[in-house]
Structure 1
C-alpha cells in the first residue's frame, strides 16, 4: 500500500504538466502546420527571422516557398520558418 500512495503525487504532477505544458504546445504545433499548409500566392507573411514579404510562388512538391521581400528581390524560404500570415488572400472563384 505504501508504494501505491507514493506514486499518487507523481501521477498528479504528470497530469498537471500534461494539461498546462504538453497539450497546449501540441495544439499550437497543429495550428502552425495547418497555417503553413494553407499558404498561397499573394499572402503577406512574417518569417521567424522577422523578414516581412509576400508569397510569390508555392511549390507543393518541396518544403520551400518563394517570398518577395522587396520589389524584384525574391528569396526561397523553408515553409516551417513562417511565423505568421498577416494578410490572407481570398481563393480564386471558379
Structure 2
C-alpha cells in the first residue's frame, strides 16, 4: 500500500523565506490604508469641519433630503426652516452639505410651480 501514499520527506528551507512570506500581508495592509482608511478619515474630517462652521442663514441639504435655511445653531442641534413658519430641529451631524446662496429660494419656487401645474392639470381633468 505504500505506492498509493507517498512518504513525507523533510525539505531544506531558505532563511529568507520568512521575510518574503510577510511581504504580501504588509503590502496588503498598505494598499488598504491608502485606498480605504485614509480617504474615509479625510471625509470624516471635512464633515466635522462643515458641521463646526455651520452658521445662521446657511442653506443646507440634510442626509434625509430636506433643503432649508438654518435658523438657530446650538452645540449639537440646529433649527432648519423648511418654509415660511415651518421649522424642524435636527442634529448637526445630519447635515450633508452647505448649498450656495439662493438655492433654497429656487427650490421653493420650483415646488410652487410644480404644485400649480399639478392643480391646473387636475382642474382640466375634472371638467
TM-score, normalising length from structure 2? Answer: 0.65
Which residue does 1:10 correspond to in 2? 25
- Could you say which structure has the greater relative contact order, defined with CA pairs below 8 angstroms and 6 or more residues apart? 1
- Name whichever structure is richer in strand by fraction: 1
In the alignment, structure 2 segments of 5+ residues that lack a partner are: 1-15, 102-127
Q: In the aligned structure 1, how far is the partner of 2:48 from the partner of 2:72?
A: 18
Count of matched residue pairs: 86
Report the TM-score, using the length of structure 1 for normalisation: 0.86
Structure 1 portions without partners, runs of 5+: 89-94
Give the structure 1 partner of residue 94 of structure 2.
Answer: 81
Aligned residue in 2 for 1:91: none
Partner residue in 2 for 1:92: none
Provide the residue aligned with 1:54 in structure 2. Answer: 69
| Cα distance in 2, alignment partners of residues 3 and 63 from structure 1 | 52
Aligned alpha-carbon RMSD (Å): 1.0
Q: Distance in 1 between matches of 2:47 and 2:68?
A: 18
State the Cα distance separating 1:70 from its structure 2 match.
1.1
